[in-house]
């Protein structure tokens, strides 16, 4: 299996940014798992830390274990079209089909990424998740609309982060929900 240098560079840059880390590691996990089988290797960050990773895939499921120099480990599990367990206060959008789900766990945090399809509009989906986030104590800090796409994101006082992005296409609306806490 080969991995692009660009993918490794992005991984090393984004490990320090929690909200982006969730999304980036999910994308990294999906790209590695698409190769199939099993692989392990190491990458080195700009500050000299070595990050080891091991990828195991079976069918549409994959597990990635990422370990830093300090022994801190993050486990990423990704599945295509599977049921997903979301943090309290969050549910899968009613009637949506799960395309992919990824769960990241480390000693002091957990994050979930769910990609889903719906026949509803981006606005309807974003309103649904804005309401769930606010009821869960998350203050909405960013909201944007552009060319039929909708994004809403925020953070709670206890460090929980949330973002939801939705875009429409000829096949309905694709939504991406990211919810996490403590992924530093």
Contacts of 17 by beta carbon, 8 Å cutoff, 6+ apart: none
- Total domains present in the chain: 1
What does the alpha-carbon distance between residue 35 and residue 87 come to, in Å, rounded to a whole number?
Answer: 30
Residue pLDDT, tens place only, 61-119 = 777 777 888 877 777 767 776 668 788 899 999 999 998 888 887 777 788 889 999 99
Cα–Cα distance list, 138 to 42, 98, 131, 154, 158 (Å)? 36, 24, 10, 6, 9
Within the chain, where are the H helices? 5-14, 18-33, 122-135
Q: Helices (H) and strands (E) in the chain — how many of each?
A: 3, 10
Per-residue model confidence as pLDDT tens digits over 108-137: 778 888 999 999 999 999 999 999 999 999
DSSP 152: E
Tell me 9's DSSP state.
H
Residue range(s) defining the domain that contains residue 42: 5-181
């Amino acid at each position: 299996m080969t991995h692009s240098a660009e993918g490794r560079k992005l991984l090393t840059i984004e490990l320090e940014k929690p909200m982006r880390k969730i999304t980036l590691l999910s994308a990294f996990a999906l790209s590695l798992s698409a190769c199939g089988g099993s692989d392990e290797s190491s990458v080195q960050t700009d500050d000299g830390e070595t990050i080891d990773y091991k990828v195991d895939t079976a069918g549409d499921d994959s597990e990635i274990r990422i370990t830093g120099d300090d022994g801190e480990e993050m486990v990423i599990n990704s599945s295509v079209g599977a049921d997903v367990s979301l943090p309290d206060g969050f549910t899968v959008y009613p009637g949506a089909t799960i395309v992919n789900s990824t769960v990241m766990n480390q000693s002091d945090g957990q994050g979930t990424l769910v990609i889903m399809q719906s026949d509803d509009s981006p606005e309807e989906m974003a309103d649904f998740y804005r309401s769930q986030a606010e009821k869960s104590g998350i203050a909405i800090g960013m909201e944007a609309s552009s060319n039929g796409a909708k994004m809403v994101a925020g953070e709670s006082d206890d460090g929980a982060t949330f973002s939801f992005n939705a875009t429409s296409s000829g096949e309905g609306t694709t939504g991406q929900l990211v919810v996490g806490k403590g992924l530093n």
